[in-house]
Chain A
Amino acid sequence: MINIVDKRFRFFWVALGLVIFSAVALGAFGLKPGIELSSGSMLTVNFAQTVNEDELNQELETLGYGGAIIQQTGTGGFLIRTAELSTQAKNDLENSLTNRFGAVTEAEFNSVSPMVASETARNAGIAIAVACVGILLYVTWAFRKMPHPFRYGVCALLALGHDALLALGIFAALGSVLGWEINLMFITGILAVLGYSINNTVVVFDRIRENLQRGISPDLAVVVNTSLSETLTRSLNTSLTTLFVVLALLLFVGASIQNFAVVLLIGVIAGTFSSICVAPNLIVAWERREAKRLFRRDEPAVDSSQG
């Protein structure tokens, strides 16, 4: 039998390391909010001729859009992000670009006012908070017949926090290196990850419940470890099939759905790890009141049960 519970302190350290990395990345780089969350305009244009990024930058500066951020798209077009543009201002900009670089086609234009952006950001925050509380309550309720059902809710939520924080941390790093922004698709992805990861955790908890009821061992650590090894194949297989489709989305749909697919990619991998190695082990650690032991040198073994 694989022994996951015995190695719980190693897993906690890994999880803690990832959380610290994410917190540091978030603190150091911060998240770059896209226009949906911070307002502004995003114009995607394609040029008939080949246009150099520097030339475009210069031209935008001459036109008074010095603060514009430009980014080349995969197909030779450009994303131009500016402060909120009126229809008139956008038309003027496109005309000026046509005069300078030849025919311009507008592929996409998105403009969000500060009012709409702050509503979106606020409601996205509420949604994530409500999702967390909802999951906590649901897991507590679903395991209400177990001893300490609240622990299951809290441990599931901690595992979720780990997954979400990791996605945020990696996006903060990506934002700093590649200029990635977080948008509504990112928020949708984060919520989907919450749902996905908790789904995995609940399957493991469910098996713990079943094995506790069957009374396979008086020691919770043994019960949890048995349950983990019984559900391990399922957890990995389901994650694998989900990874297949997420990779397909990432590779074939590309830029527009990139945020979403990458969040899911991180979330599925992190969620698999946390639902196997973090959440169930936290239950055991809580039962044994081991919080302080994390920092001791000797690693406690399963059989050193406190009874």
Chain B
Amino acid sequence: MTRKNLAPFITIMIILILAILGVVPLDKGVLGGKGIHLGLDLQGGTHLVYQADFSDTEPGSEGEAIQGAIAVIERRVNALGVSEPVIQKLGNDRITVELAGISEIENAKNLIGQTALLEFGELAKEGETPTWTNELGDWVPATAEVDGEVLELSSRYFQENTYVSQDDYGQIVLVFQWNDTGTKMFEQITERVLNQPLGIFLSGEALRGDEGLPIAPYIRSVISDRGIIEGLSLNEATELTRLLNAGRIPVPLTPIYEQTVSPMLGADFVNMSLKAGIIGLILVLVFMMVYYRFPGALASGALMFYAFVVLAIFKAIPVTLNLAGIGGFVLSIGMAVDANVLIFERLKEELRLGRTLGAAIEVGFSRAWPAIRDSNITTFIVCGILYWLGSSIIASGPVTSFAATLAIGVAVSMFSAVVVTRTFLRVFAGSRLARRASLYNVYSGKSHD
């Protein structure tokens, strides 16, 4: 081993050891980091996408409205105790929700889909057709006339700052405040329904408290802009506060995409694809060693280097691996040896021309390089397009993950062939073992006459 080759060799070994330490075990990271991040299809969970309907929203306040809707979903999901939920705006008018684990999914889905608009009702008089009916009686929307227009009272007329507090006696109170229109309306309504209950309805159903009874506070005085609701439990007050705040700018949400995978199925996928990857890797290694013998064995070493470094990069970035992503990784194992194959074929050609081993290695690498570069650029172009496709559609998981794993795989494979295999070859070229021509299988696959 010459001194010139020593430094790269040691560097490669250090990278390899770091990568192995970083990768093993796969489900945990070094220094408290996380394991390889698995997509929802592998760990089990649900991916939901909702379309927001802005037809009732004032123009210009769409952004605020969707943020409000996201806040509502966050609260609802957090209350269910789903770990690490991802709730994000997608484009201008969509919300994507990713929940891992499955136990509460049905529950969560029912909650998320609900419109946050709260409507208020007063008891129906004789002859009025009720809009809502429950054990407390028949209800019609509480209406008031503002600027000559009859409006129905709803949570959209609240100010932002509804909150839960305690009065002087330690009782839970919910403090609310109306906006200008709401103030005018509530004054008229409370005058009319003084000492009567005010019903609260969400999605056509009475809002029910802890005991399952409808929440319908009695109006004790005429209220204009600010008021309180007494007699709620802390739980009820908190929930109602959330709903009132979210209901200020309600946006109807329609589910447009759902993907749910049970954790058991996800675990099966992980095991199966792991098996496929290992068997694919072994087949490739055996082929390389049988066909290319000595350099093939070195390439196999480079391939192990490749596999560990790629996995370490997946962990470090982190790349979300789903089934297609693992497919991309497994595929890249098969493609990763391509650069090695290109180099070894060149190496054999140069040896046949009678060059010494050292010269053949150098010429082989430099001649193979343009082909390695040009051919891999096409793969990068396709990965870039796949990545764009993934970012432009909703069912993006498989496409994006595949593009990322394939691109990383191809990039590392170029490095591993050009730098790692070359260094290995240079290092071992001086050994007596390496000088035996039979080790290069020079004459098999020979295409010249």
Q: Is the C-beta of A96 less than 8 angstroms from some C-beta in chain B?
A: no
Chain B residues positioned under 8 Å from A199 (CB to CB): 335, 338, 375-376, 378-379
CA distance A299 to B449 in the complex (A): 25
**Smallest CB gap from A156: residue in B:** B378
Which B257-309 residues sit within 8 Å CB-CB of chain A? 257-262, 264-265, 269, 272-273, 275-277, 279-281, 283-284, 287-288, 291
Chain B residues positioned under 8 Å from A256 (CB to CB): 269, 323
| Mask: chain B, 366-380; 1 = CB below 8 Å from A; 0 = not | 010011001111110
Q: How far is the CB of A52 from chain B (nearest CB, A)?
A: 23
Q: How far is the CB of B113 from chain A (nearest CB, A)?
A: 7
Tell me whether B283 and A138 are in contact (CB under 8 A): no
Chain A residues positioned under 8 Å from B375 (CB to CB): 198-200, 202-203, 206
Q: Given A241-B284, A241-B337, A248-B277, answer yes or no on A109-B258 (Cβ-Cβ < 8 Å).
A: yes
| Mask: chain A, 238-259; 1 = CB below 8 Å from B; 0 = not | 1011111111110111101100
Q: Is the C-beta of B109 less than 8 angstroms from some C-beta in chain A?
A: yes
Q: How far is the CB of A279 from chain B (nearest CB, A)?
A: 13
Tell me whether A131 and B376 are in contact (CB under 8 A): no
Tell me whether B323 and A113 are in contact (CB under 8 A): no
CA distance A208 to B349 in the complex (A): 16
Tell me whether A252 and B275 are in contact (CB under 8 A): yes
Tell me whether B330 and A245 are in contact (CB under 8 A): yes
Contact partner, B257, options A111, A127, A231, Cβ 8 Å: A111
Contact partner, B377, options A112, A142, A184, Cβ 8 Å: A142
CA distance A61 to B213 in the complex (A): 40
Beyond A87-B110, A109-B260, A248-B277, list 19 extra A-B contacts (CB 8 Å).
A2-B447, A87-B109, A87-B113, A109-B259, A116-B49, A119-B392, A119-B394, A135-B381, A191-B385, A196-B335, A198-B382, A206-B371, A233-B445, A241-B337, A241-B338, A243-B334, A245-B276, A257-B327, A260-B324
Contact partner, A113, options B256, B277, B367, Cβ 8 Å: B256
Q: How far is the CB of A298 from chain B (nearest CB, A)?
A: 27
Q: How far is the CB of A115 from chain B (nearest CB, A)?
A: 6
Which A2-57 residues sit within 8 Å CB-CB of chain B? 2, 36, 44
Tell me whether B323 and A127 are in contact (CB under 8 A): no
Contact partner, B323, options A192, A195, A200, A257, Cβ 8 Å: A257
Q: Is the C-beta of B345 less than 8 angstroms from some C-beta in chain A?
A: yes
Tell me whether A106 and B260 are in contact (CB under 8 A): yes
Tell me whether B381 and A134 are in contact (CB under 8 A): yes
Tell me whether A195 and B280 are in contact (CB under 8 A): no
Q: Is the C-beta of A217 less than 8 angstroms from some C-beta in chain B?
A: no
Q: Is the C-beta of A266 less than 8 angstroms from some C-beta in chain B?
A: no
Q: Given A119-B394, A130-B385, A249-B331, answer yes or no on A87-B379 (Cβ-Cβ < 8 Å).
A: no
Instruction: Specify which of B256, B349, B378 lies most central, judged by the most chain A CB atoms within 10 Å of its CB.
Output: B378
Tell me whether A127 and B342 are in contact (CB under 8 A): no
| Mask: chain B, 336-348; 1 = CB below 8 Å from A; 0 = not | 0110011001000
Contact partner, A246, options B109, B262, B334, B379, Cβ 8 Å: B334
Tell me whether B276 and A253 are in contact (CB under 8 A): yes
CA distance A249 to B276 in the complex (A): 5
Tell me whether A248 and B335 are in contact (CB under 8 A): no
Q: Given A109-B260, A199-B376, answer yes or no on A123-B398 (Cβ-Cβ < 8 Å).
A: no
Q: How far is the CB of B152 from chain A (nearest CB, A)?
A: 27
B contacts with A: majority SS: helix
CA distance A58 to B306 in the complex (A): 53
CA distance A245 to B307 in the complex (A): 14
Contact partner, A184, options B106, B254, B345, B398, Cβ 8 Å: B398
Chain A residues positioned under 8 Å from B389 (CB to CB): 123-124, 126-127, 187, 191
Q: Is the C-beta of A305 less than 8 angstroms from some C-beta in chain B?
A: no
Instruction: Specify which of B51, B255, B394 lies most central, judged by the most chain A CB atoms within 10 Å of its CB.
Output: B394
Q: Is the C-beta of A176 less than 8 angstroms from some C-beta in chain B?
A: no
Q: How far is the CB of A133 from chain B (nearest CB, A)?
A: 10
Q: Is the C-beta of A232 less than 8 angstroms from some C-beta in chain B?
A: yes
Q: Given A195-B383, A248-B280, A252-B273, answer yes or no on A108-B377 (Cβ-Cβ < 8 Å).
A: no
Tell me whether A86 and B255 are in contact (CB under 8 A): yes
CA distance A187 to B393 in the complex (A): 13
Q: Is the C-beta of A91 less than 8 angstroms from some C-beta in chain B?
A: yes
Which A106-158 residues sit within 8 Å CB-CB of chain B? 106-113, 115-116, 119-120, 123-124, 126-127, 130-131, 134-135, 138-139, 142
Chain A residues positioned under 8 Å from B388 (CB to CB): 127, 130
Q: Is the C-beta of A222 less than 8 angstroms from some C-beta in chain B?
A: no
Q: How far is the CB of B45 from chain A (nearest CB, A)?
A: 11
Chain A residues positioned under 8 Å from B258 (CB to CB): 87, 109-112
**Smallest CB gap from B447: residue in A:** A229
**Smallest CB gap from A137: residue in B:** B381
Tell me whether A248 and B262 are in contact (CB under 8 A): no
**Smallest CB gap from B112: residue in A:** A87
Q: Is the C-beta of A59 less than 8 angstroms from some C-beta in chain B?
A: no
Q: How far is the CB of A35 from chain B (nearest CB, A)?
A: 10
Chain B residues positioned under 8 Å from A251 (CB to CB): 276
Tell me whether A234 and B345 are in contact (CB under 8 A): yes
Tell me whether A245 and B51 are in contact (CB under 8 A): no
CA distance A225 to B229 in the complex (A): 89
**Smallest CB gap from B284: residue in A:** A241
CA distance A248 to B265 in the complex (A): 19
**Smallest CB gap from B380: residue in A:** A195
Which B63-79 residues sit within 8 Å CB-CB of chain A? none
18 contacts between A and B (CB under 8 A): A44-B265, A87-B255, A112-B256, A116-B394, A134-B385, A188-B398, A191-B389, A196-B335, A198-B382, A199-B376, A202-B375, A207-B371, A238-B338, A238-B341, A244-B283, A249-B273, A251-B276, A261-B327
